[in-house]
Amino acid sequence: MMESWSFLDTDESNFRPLVVIELAKGTKEETIEWFTKRIMDKKAHGGAQLLIKPLITENGVENTYLVGASHLRLLLGAETVGLVKECSDNSMRTFTYSSRKTFKHFADDNHNFLTMAECQYIIKHELENLRAKNEKMIPGYPQAKLYPGKSIVRRLLTSGILVQIFPLHDREELKKLRHSWYGRVKVGYQPLDDIRCYFGETIALYFGFLEYFTFALIPMAVIGIPYYVFAWEDYDKYVMFATFNLLWSTVILEVWKRICAILTYRWGTLLMKRQFEEPRPGFHGVLGINPVTGREEPVYSSIKRQLRIYLVSLPFVCLCLYFSLYVMMIYFDLEQWALDYHKENESNFSTLMLYVPSIIYAVVIEIMNRIYRYAAEFLTSWENHRLESSYQNHLILKVLVFNFLNCFASLFYIAFVLFDMKLLRQSLATLLITSQILNQFAESLLPYWLQKRYKRRMKKRKCSQKTDTDLSLAEQVNMEKEMGTYLGTFDDYLELFLQFGYVSLFSCVYPLAAVFAVLNNITEIYSDALKMCRVYRRPFAEPTANIGVWQLAFETMSVISVVTNCILIGMSPQVDALFPDSKVDLVLTVALVEHLLLAIKFIMAFVIPDKPRDIQTKLSKLEFESLEALKQQVRAFKMQLHFLSIHH
Amino acid sequence: MMESWSFLDTDESNFRPLVVIELAKGTKEETIEWFTKRIMDKKAHGGAQLLIKPLITENGVENTYLVGASHLRLLLGAETVGLVKECSDNSMRTFTYSSRKTFKHFADDNHNFLTMAECQYIIKHELENLRAKNEKMIPGYPQAKLYPGKSIVRRLLTSGILVQIFPLHDREELKKLRHSWYGRVKVGYQPLDDIRCYFGETIALYFGFLEYFTFALIPMAVIGIPYYVFAWEDYDKYVMFATFNLLWSTVILEVWKRICAILTYRWGTLLMKRQFEEPRPGFHGVLGINPVTGREEPVYSSIKRQLRIYLVSLPFVCLCLYFSLYVMMIYFDLEQWALDYHKENESNFSTLMLYVPSIIYAVVIEIMNRIYRYAAEFLTSWENHRLESSYQNHLILKVLVFNFLNCFASLFYIAFVLFDMKLLRQSLATLLITSQILNQFAESLLPYWLQKRYKRRMKKRKCSQKTDTDLSLAEQVNMEKEMGTYLGTFDDYLELFLQFGYVSLFSCVYPLAAVFAVLNNITEIYSDALKMCRVYRRPFAEPTANIGVWQLAFETMSVISVVTNCILIGMSPQVDALFPDSKVDLVLTVALVEHLLLAIKFIMAFVIPDKPRDIQTKLSKLEFESLEALKQQVRAFKMQLHFLSIHH
């Protein structure tokens, strides 16, 4: 990777801008010079060996730079990041430069072998792995300390010199994608492979999950409709619906794992080796020796972190939970007040007023969720986790616990303390529908509208009537610089998670929830797609092999819903009537059924294999081949040694 | 691994016999010649490059052969099987011949660097990987078909030409081990590291688990004694005991994972790469192409196997379960009869007679378990699983389900149908104690006694008065040939599993069970040690990193015991008295407590890390180093290519 790279073409004639780097206004000349030099320097000299060009607009140079790389450099980078691509024999293999000829669609002059998202991911990886050598600080900024091995880009980001790095949109490709994704009204699957090519695996997997989940809810919705239409209230029909729901939710979660394996195998991420995780950008500590790498880098005592978690974060979360319950009690007071008002002066207005407390409460819940989200992010960041994965897990745990209680506490209270099924149904419907409307609005329509307005103003000011594709590069970059940042799939999954809760926790009381969920998800696909394509800056592709901790979260929800549904059925008057003599028998029967259902769930999860058989075969084939290759390599190495010892 | 091995010394002067091969009487000369030639042949010619010598006794050559290997051959073999040894810097690393100097205690003349068990494991591995080249059959036996790549030893075994392969005992070492293990009466830990050196990791891990489990039961036993002595029957004390038991059982199972990681890290097996699994010896099918390896080998349709499992094995298991329940009902008839008899003619004899049905039933259960075991083995073998691991999983599942029902069905029936706590206590005690006595007897004392008698006869016949260590090699081999085969740790774990069931399922009814379990396990350690050292042929060492499916089995048992204990407590008259007005409240409270306990269990299992922090650090360090090494290797490879391209 050193000498052999000296012949890399740094020919700028076919420079294709891939990534934009925006430096702060007034960044010192010497810093810029040093930084661009490090980016362009040869690998052998510790550089990134990329191409970089300042963006020249009408107003001159604007501290914005375009980064690209030669085709060869990208191929070598693909090897470094461990990309997995399809071979000519249809198997998936880790790409190496030396075996490049065996890959499908590879040709030395085919610059589309790597997708643009992959190229941008490679450049991001190379930039982040540009490390300080002997620099003690960033030239020109003595307060921005460096130590050997520290990622330069991360330090530039944390010290505010680097404003942002983002990948450029490809106007042509985006237009094509938009058209096939949501351009025409059609019934059919999303172009997941195209989404993956353009936005990367994490986002494509989210849309895959959203689509799968919507399809999976359809049977529930279809079975749920007649319950509502004919107002079925029979005992056996309810039990059947709930039982079907509970087992169905296990099946869909298990089957998703298989579909996920199929998708990520096709995309190569199922086989990608986990890269060694570097400290996350915000991590700080005193310089010490990392026991794992043996390198000098900031270390932070684990005990201190534990203290922060258990003495500050945990009490804070508990306080928030208490506050959420307090708000809930206020809601019940309001509800009571509305009911009293309705009783006193009965009118159309008062009937409408009955729904007002629920709607207000739903709005308050959404607001509290969002405020808490910021607090949780701040706290988790303050806990100073070394790895991004650990940070994410702590954040997700905090957010999930709060959101779960915040959204469902009132429903639990109505169901199991007030025993008011009518109110439960009404409350559930109001909460679900209000939160869906709010989400759709806050997530995509609002930003879209804001951005439209901004664009219109921009255009007015410049008096130009160009369409998107006609924009010059400089105009495109400047426009994208102003777009919002997509903060990852967290909120999208969280929304689905809460929706799953509304649908499954009390499914036997309100079978129509699944119908609303399906309707919401269909528009959600469109609005999320719109958001990705129109509202936000293009995000960097993130290879991923599964939906991670969300799988666990959904499975936990499905276990909790077994418990709640069994209790709800046990409480229904129809079931009560079946055990006229003894309430004890009723409770015992319900408990028995619940345990049986849980047992069946666990057995089903155990019996259904996580990966389809053909994927399993392909994986073992690869494992076998790599073992064989290792043997061959050892053998070749020994032969070589032998050969050398003979000839000397 | 080919040319470079040509210099291996095949000098027979310091031949150390390690493994014994016994061929059938009357094996054809040409077969023996071919087989020994293949064993001695150079690796380059497809042989195993081991040393083999016929055993010469007073009666001449007896078709028994001793296999050994040169020191260098063993070191290269250690690399092939992927042994992990300790380095000079106290880290554990995969042994390679080229890096041999960096390992602790390595010296070219130190023949104890590899333990004898490791050497024997290497030889076994090499023998099993001795594969047919172009032979269509075993010379002299046209019915014993071969195809390229088929393991010769496995074919020889299945066609009955090879009677057995077993590793030799090391009389000196064994004497030392016996002394430190159970030679003196002492309180203290077992010499697990010595056991591991002599018998390998699987057996050492079993003894480690047995010891750990015994220590872990002591708190339960200590807390249980006063309940029995003072006949405590208070509600809160029972609840406390049961709650403690339930949480304690979760803790001990979680902590075991950590201890297991510490042990197997020290032994190197935690880091050992999984070898590619070959088809198990009994697997048969028509020749086809294996989709994984691409080699020609027998394949067997998965659908056929599924049909066998679901249409034959499953019904058979259900039939056995039904039969077991039928026998249980007969036991209850007997019990009733004994009770009637006792009522009619009350006497000391009749009081004694009360225990007879339970004892008979316990004996019958043991017999049924053993018979079923054979049936299960036959069926699972007939299901024709390709891999040993799949075979084992199906066998364990079959055996566990039956044994669980067979042992505990009567107790469940007494507890939850008859509601007879007195009978439950009596039945539990009788079953537990009888099965323990039977097991101890059948497992070690009986074979020991048989073997003693056999030895005495042998010695009488030969009129020699030699002690064990004075025996000549030939006498030793002949004696060991006649010893029983140790069939693995399956039965030992199963016994512990059932014991865990007796202790935890009904712990709140019979707190003394833990005391009996502790007492039994202390003698079990001694009798199992005796069995390993005295009764059985030495088994081959089997590297393993954990107790596998047994961990899951114990955890499942611990979940079931939460349910049973909660119900038992709910049924006790003291608890009943706390809810005088409403039985419903009682049942609901019990159900609530049960769910809380289960939730706590799952959270505890989630929160307690499976590996101690320092082991985790060491593992990530190794992972990091191997990633770095890979990078280095790629770099070196590229430099080499570059170097070559310049010089040509």
A99-103, A292-296, A584-588, B555-559: least confidently modelled range = A292-296
Question: Which of A292, A617, A641 shows the shortest C-beta gap to B4?
Answer: A641
Looking at the fold, whether B123 and B229 belong to one and the same domain comes out as no
pLDDT at B643: 61
Residue B469 has pLDDT above 80, yes or no: no
> Most B CBs within 10 Å: which of A43, A81, A100, A276, as the mutation test of the B interface?
A276
H or E stretch covering B66? strand B60-68
Residue A504 has pLDDT above 70, yes or no: yes
pLDDT range class, residue A223, cuts 50, 70, 90: confident
A340 touches chain B (CB under 8 A): no
Is residue A4, in this structure, part of any structural domain at all? no
Residue B634 has pLDDT above 70, yes or no: no
Q: How far is CA A579 from the centre of its chain?
A: 48
pLDDT at A154: 87
With a CB cutoff of 8 Å and minimum separation 6, the contacts of A350 are A341, A342
- B79 contact residues in A (CB cutoff 8 A): 634
Question: In this structure, how many other beta carbons lie within 10 angstroms of the beta carbon of residue B369?
Answer: 19
Question: Which of A4, A584, A634 shows the shortest C-beta gap to B587?
Answer: A584
Question: In this structure, how many other beta carbons lie within 10 angstroms of the beta carbon of residue B457?
Answer: 10
- SS3 letters across A55-70: EEECCEEEEEEEEECC
3-state helix, strand, coil in chain A (%, to 5): 65, 10, 25
Cβ-contact A387, A277 below 8 angstroms = yes
pLDDT range class, residue A647, cuts 50, 70, 90: low
B1 touches chain A (CB under 8 A): yes
B295 touches chain A (CB under 8 A): no
pLDDT at A9: 44
Is residue A415, in this structure, part of any structural domain at all? no
**Chain B residue whose CA is closest to A294:** B621
Q: How far is CA A450 from the centre of its chain?
A: 24
Looking at the fold, whether A450 and A580 belong to one and the same domain comes out as yes
Looking at the fold, whether B437 and B351 belong to one and the same domain comes out as no
The one-letter amino acid at B193: D
Is residue B481, in this structure, part of any structural domain at all? no
Nearest Cα of chain A lies from the Cα of B637 at a distance, in angstroms, of 9
**Chain A residue whose CA is closest to B620:** A292
**B424-443 per-position pLDDT tens digit:** 888 898 889 988 888 888 77
> Most B CBs within 10 Å: which of A560, A642, A646, as the mutation test of the B interface?
A642
Question: In this structure, how many other beta carbons lie within 10 angstroms of the beta carbon of residue A31?
Answer: 19
pLDDT range class, residue A648, cuts 50, 70, 90: low
pLDDT at A209: 95
Looking at the fold, whether A271 and A293 belong to one and the same domain comes out as no
Average pLDDT rounded to a whole number, residues A209-233:
86
Question: In this structure, how many other beta carbons lie within 10 angstroms of the beta carbon of residue A489?
Answer: 23
A47-61, A215-229, B497-511: least confidently modelled range = A47-61
**B169-215 per-position pLDDT tens digit:** 988 888 888 888 887 766 678 899 999 999 999 999 999 999 999 99
Of A366, A400, A376, the closest CA to residue A553 belongs to A400
CA distance B269 to B274: 10
Looking at the fold, whether A54 and A86 belong to one and the same domain comes out as yes
Domain boundaries, position B122: 19-168
Is residue A31, in this structure, part of any structural domain at all? yes
Nearest Cα of chain B lies from the Cα of A639 at a distance, in angstroms, of 6
| B-contacting residues in A 596-615 (Cβ below 8 Å) | 613
Domain count, chain B: 4
**Chain B residue whose CA is closest to A583:** B584
Residue A478 has pLDDT above 80, yes or no: yes
Is residue A416, in this structure, part of any structural domain at all? no
Average pLDDT rounded to a whole number, residues B567-593:
83
pLDDT at A159: 87
**Chain B residue whose CA is closest to A603:** B556
Is residue B13, in this structure, part of any structural domain at all? no
pLDDT range class, residue A55, cuts 50, 70, 90: confident
> How high is the mean pLDDT of chain A?
85
Looking at the fold, whether B97 and B221 belong to one and the same domain comes out as no
- B613 contact residues in A (CB cutoff 8 A): 302
Of B583, B421, B384, B408, the closest CA to residue B509 belongs to B421
Are residues A291 and B621, on separate chains, in Cβ contact within 8 Å?
Answer: yes
Are residues B621 and A3, on separate chains, in Cβ contact within 8 Å?
Answer: no
Average pLDDT rounded to a whole number, residues A191-220:
92
Nearest Cα of chain B lies from the Cα of A634 at a distance, in angstroms, of 7
Looking at the fold, whether B26 and B87 belong to one and the same domain comes out as yes
Looking up tokens 């955890």 gives: B555
B442 touches chain A (CB under 8 A): no
Looking at the fold, whether B456 and B596 belong to one and the same domain comes out as yes
Average pLDDT rounded to a whole number, residues B129-138:
87
B79 touches chain A (CB under 8 A): yes
pLDDT at B445: 73
pLDDT at A185: 65
- B389 contact residues in A (CB cutoff 8 A): none
**B337-377 per-position pLDDT tens digit:** 988 988 888 888 888 888 888 889 989 998 999 899 999 99
With a CB cutoff of 8 Å and minimum separation 6, the contacts of A328 are A361, A409, A410, A413
pLDDT at A406: 92
Are residues A292 and B617, on separate chains, in Cβ contact within 8 Å?
Answer: yes
Residue B9 has pLDDT above 50, yes or no: no
Residue A465 has pLDDT above 70, yes or no: no
> Given B332, B365, B386, which residue is the final one in a domain?
B386
Average pLDDT rounded to a whole number, residues B561-585:
83
- B91 contact residues in A (CB cutoff 8 A): none
| B-contacting residues in A 242-281 (Cβ below 8 Å) | 275-276
B291 touches chain A (CB under 8 A): yes
pLDDT range class, residue B648, cuts 50, 70, 90: low
pLDDT range class, residue A461, cuts 50, 70, 90: low
B340 touches chain A (CB under 8 A): no
Question: Which of A2, A292, A302 shows the shortest C-beta gap to B635?
Answer: A2
Residue A434 has pLDDT above 70, yes or no: yes
3-state helix, strand, coil in chain B (%, to 5): 65, 10, 25
| B-contacting residues in A 132-171 (Cβ below 8 Å) | none
Is residue B391, in this structure, part of any structural domain at all? no
pLDDT range class, residue B7, cuts 50, 70, 90: very low
Looking at the fold, whether A288 and A372 belong to one and the same domain comes out as yes
**A273-325 per-position pLDDT tens digit:** 777 777 887 788 888 888 887 777 888 888 899 999 999 999 999 999 999 99
Q: What is the C-alpha end-to-end distance of chain A, expressed in Å?
A: 28
List helix spans (H) across B506-612: 513-530, 549-571, 573-578, 583-607
Residue B335 has pLDDT above 50, yes or no: yes
B49-58, B446-455, B504-513: least confidently modelled range = B446-455
| A-contacting residues in B 16-35 (Cβ below 8 Å) | none
- A613 contact residues in B (CB cutoff 8 A): 302
Residue B55 has pLDDT above 80, yes or no: yes
Nearest Cα of chain A lies from the Cα of B409 at a distance, in angstroms, of 17
Is residue A398, in this structure, part of any structural domain at all? no
Looking at the fold, whether B582 and B629 belong to one and the same domain comes out as no
Cβ-contact A85, A75 below 8 angstroms = no
DSSP string, B378-439: HHHHHTT-SBHHHHHHHHHHHHHHHHHHHHHHHHHHIIIII--HHHHHHHHHHHHHHHHHHH
Are residues A623 and B276, on separate chains, in Cβ contact within 8 Å?
Answer: yes
Of A583, A569, A575, A509, the closest CA to residue B588 belongs to A583
Cβ-contact B155, B301 below 8 angstroms = no
Average pLDDT rounded to a whole number, residues A195-214:
93
- A623 contact residues in B (CB cutoff 8 A): 276
Residue A5 has pLDDT above 70, yes or no: no
Nearest Cα of chain A lies from the Cα of B522 at a distance, in angstroms, of 35
Looking at the fold, whether B153 and B296 belong to one and the same domain comes out as no
CA distance A176 to A604: 42
- B587 contact residues in A (CB cutoff 8 A): 584, 587-588, 591
Are residues A595 and B563, on separate chains, in Cβ contact within 8 Å?
Answer: yes
Are residues A635 and B2, on separate chains, in Cβ contact within 8 Å?
Answer: yes
Are residues B79 and A634, on separate chains, in Cβ contact within 8 Å?
Answer: yes
ipTM of this complex: 0.83
The residue ranking higher by pLDDT, A463 or B237, is B237
B621 touches chain A (CB under 8 A): yes
A92-106, A325-339, A481-495, B228-242: least confidently modelled range = B228-242
Are residues A563 and B595, on separate chains, in Cβ contact within 8 Å?
Answer: yes
Looking at the fold, whether A45 and A153 belong to one and the same domain comes out as yes
Average pLDDT rounded to a whole number, residues A81-102:
86
A446 touches chain B (CB under 8 A): no
pLDDT at A246: 85
Question: Which of B293, B634, B641 shows the shortest C-beta gap to A624?
Answer: B293
Residue B379 has pLDDT above 70, yes or no: yes
Are residues A639 and B2, on separate chains, in Cβ contact within 8 Å?
Answer: yes
Cβ-contact B75, B67 below 8 angstroms = no
- A635 contact residues in B (CB cutoff 8 A): 1-2
B584 touches chain A (CB under 8 A): yes
> Most B CBs within 10 Å: which of A559, A564, A584, as the mutation test of the B interface?
A584
